[in-house]
Amino acid sequence: MTFRARHLLGIEHLAPEEIRTVLDLSEKYVALNQRTEKHSDALKGLTQINMFFENSTRTQASFELAGKRLGADVMNMSVALSSVKKGETLIDTALTLNAMHPDLLVVRHPASGAVDLLAQKVNCAVLNAGDGRHEHPTQALLDALTIRRAKGRIQRLTVAICGDIAHSRVARSNLILLGKMENRVRLIGPPTLMPAGIGEFGCEVYEDMKAGLEGADVVMMLRLQKERMDGGFIPSEREYYHRYGLDAEKLALAKEDAIVMHPGPMNRGVEIDGELADDINRSVIQDQVEMGVAVRMACMDLLARNLRAERGAKAVGVMV
């Protein structure tokens, strides 16, 4: 097993063998989660604090469940009620929490780079649960696990990522991961929703959805992130659905056995047809949620091993 990281801040920092280690360990946790007794003691004695400065359903719930199933003491810090609302800076909040000796800090923040900054100020393992439009590493890892289970591999696949790429940390982390694992990535969306300089990432960019979907093994849809838009990025939702909404007709252009993914939350009838999203023969959206818990268990387990090893080494140093 190879996993050297001290924090999980982004896919950017992971080597392909570290990604494989996370996925392999996640498989064990998928099996554990399917049992009636779901407990392990990988995080026994450790304290996990979840700090979500942005709304979340799936990610926060799955990090909480993951920590509890591994035996950690888990605290959800409610940012709405905290001193952040009184003007305390992110760093002050982090230092305050750090003084309570957490071992794992799970952070979601609306500003890109905020989680990296925080990781420099605390002496525990930090997991990025999404920072602005930068990265969302556990999402890309759970997507990779879902793909690997459905397709039997996570190499040499054609993956189409469609929709609001510009505002999406999910797209960015997936793009990096899929590239590292030697897949072909196509980005599909209107030019207004395509980030500048995207060509550098070695992917193909399509404005025409039908052309982009042709021959794809995986179709990953993204939510229109209206909260990050400050103007008219699309003419209307109706027009957007017509051109970029995934329905059975457009999906027919992808490979016959192509799978449909969405990180959630979904806007049914905006980026995806509701019936297609619920079609268990094509859609793996519920599998993504299931994989999310297992992947977060694996990530926290691996980081805790490194943390224990590091602290153990220091303790020995003191004794000598």
Q: Catalog residues that contact ligand NCD under the rule CB under 6 A.
A: 58-59, 130, 136, 139, 169-170, 223, 225, 263-264
Nearer to ligand NCD, 103 or 109 (CB): 109
Q: How far is the CB of 79 from ligand NCD (least distance, A)?
A: 15
Q: How far apart are CA 181 and CA 234, in angstroms?
A: 33
Q: How far is the CB of 274 from ligand NCD (least distance, A)?
A: 17
Two structure tokens written together for 186: 């196509």
Nearer to ligand NCD, 193 or 307 (CB): 193
Q: How far is the CB of 167 from ligand NCD (least distance, A)?
A: 9
Nearer to ligand NCD, 33 or 225 (CB): 225
Q: How far is the CB of 27 from ligand NCD (least distance, A)?
A: 21
Nearer to ligand NCD, 134 or 282 (CB): 134
Nearer to ligand NCD, 16 or 264 (CB): 264
Specify the 3-state DSSP secondary structure of 109.
strand
Separation in Å, CA 217 to CA 126, 160, 161, 259: 33, 8, 11, 7
Q: How far is the CB of 224 from ligand NCD (least distance, A)?
A: 8
Q: Calculate the CA 297 to chain-centre distance.
A: 13
Sign of CA dihedral 115, 118, 119, 125: negative
Q: Which residue is nearest to ligand NCD (CB)?
A: 223
- In the chain, % helix, strand, coil (3-state, to 5) comes to 45, 15, 40
Q: How far is the CB of 131 from ligand NCD (least distance, A)?
A: 10
For 285-298, letters b (16+ CB in 10 Å) and e give bebbbbbbbbbbbb
**Strand boundaries in the chain, DSSP class E:** 47-52, 73-77, 104-109, 125-131, 158-162, 184-188, 204-206, 218-221, 259-261
Nearer to ligand NCD, 142 or 216 (CB): 142
